[in-house]
Amino acid sequence: MDLHSGQIQGFLDSPSDNLYAMPVLVRDLKETHGGRNTVIVSPDVGGVVRARAYAKRLDAPIAIVDKRRERAGVSEVMNIVGDVKGADCVLVDDICDSAGTLCNAAQALMDAGAASVSANVTHGVFSGPAMERISKSVLTEVVATDTIRPSDAVLATEKVRIVTVAPLLAEAMNRIAHETSVSSLFE
């Protein structure tokens, strides 16, 4: 689900489908952010396609965090591209590992005038200092799917909420078994 690099499919010996958590996360956003002044934000240039896809489904504008990565695991926010003043910003990403990027981006968005910042991620790795960073950050909430079983520390953190992709996976398996379209799940 939400392969970090699409080329991974080329290394598999059997046919595979790259499934997307977006339908689950967009439904959750509609339920929690419906009617609010929401801006979808890509935490880096590499996530712009994902942010546009979310924004299209939510009929919301997008913004981009322009960051510079000096070395692996260390990033510095340079600019915010787009208008976030007074908006409820939602960072969308495929993976949250140590939470450094999300927390830095959230602070930069608040410094740029955002009303609030939350995040939606497919894979909540939440390694090392992630829970401490999230707890101390300006993020109001991080929503992650259950593609990775959350640890007790993750479940105990008030700022993290887990949503399930089980029905989406079940529907994809059903469609494969009945030889019907899997891609139409994501249109």
- Cα-to-chain-centroid distance, residue 53: 12
Please state, in angstroms and rounded to a whole number, the distance separating the CA atoms of residues 125 and 84. 28
Burial class (CB in 10 A: 0-12, 13-18, 19+), 54: buried
Residues acting as catalytic residues: 67
Residue 161 neighbours by CB under 8 Å, 6+ apart: 141, 142, 143, 144
Please state, in angstroms and rounded to a whole number, the distance separating the CA atoms of residues 89 and 39. 5
Please state, in angstroms and rounded to a whole number, the distance separating the CA atoms of residues 93 and 16. 22
